[in-house]
Amino acid sequence: MTFASGIQVQKASTAPARQDIALLDEQEPFDWGNLRASGDRADALLARIAGDPHLLRALLTRAAEDDALLSMCERHRPFDKIVLYDGGDRNFRIRLHIWRTTEFERAHQHRFSFTSRLLQGHYRHVLYDCPRPARSDDARHHMDPEHPDPSSGFDLARIRPTLEYEMKAGDTYTLHHDAVHATLVHADTVSLILRGPAEKDVAFVANLDEGGVYWRFGRRDEDQTRIRAKQLTRDELTGCVAELQDRGLLG
């Protein structure tokens, strides 16, 4: 296990047998001020889920049946985001990401620290030395790559890669919310994410392939039109479950 540029990197570990969803209900609060300790806890918890296809199916079934969880699931251009468990009162939430297309290079921050574990597929993970661009007054009008922010005044040449490595199934990393990274993901990749609470209200994304900077806000700062446009439906989630079953990820 090593630390570099705010990132904790770990390789695959052996996962124990089937656990009940009570395993998540019984989790104590995460302290993301201690990134190493929270990353170790998150890595162990995600390993137990990844190692138990029956538990993963149970979590997906619960997400499809629970209106609150389903309302947080989203379909984006490159991937589907499925919220499996919300332990917000204890500083964690678990998501499953299913990538549909090969991702281009977007250097970006997150509003929260998190741990990611790759279940299937692979991608190239890149870390950058990058100053934060200036946020414009109308940043909420620039929440997607189709509407880049012309007022950020940011030179993309200032974003310099400092570390690159390949992620494969079973690999895990923990990233601090101030770190800047990109995941050059191949299609048909699946990952589990355990995230902490939001530490800031907005994070930037720089599209290094096509140019431009845009901004990510939390749902509370998005309008209902945008929220509805990316909502994953129950039928779409059912289709995701069938696909994961065909790919051998579910018990």
Tell me the backbone φ, ψ of residue 3, rounded to 5 degrees. Answer: -115, 135
Per residue in 58-81, pLDDT (tens digit) is 999 999 999 999 999 999 888 999
Rounded to two decimals, the pTM is 0.90
pLDDT at residue 9, as a whole number:
52
**Burial track 130-157 (b if 16+ CB lie within 10 A, e otherwise):** beebebbeebeebbebeebbebbebeee
Nearest-10 crossing angle of helices 234-246, 53-65: 170
In whole angstroms, give the CA distance from residue 168 to residue 170.
6
Per residue in 115-172, pLDDT (tens digit) is 999 999 999 999 999 998 999 999 999 998 889 999 888 899 999 999 999 999 999 9
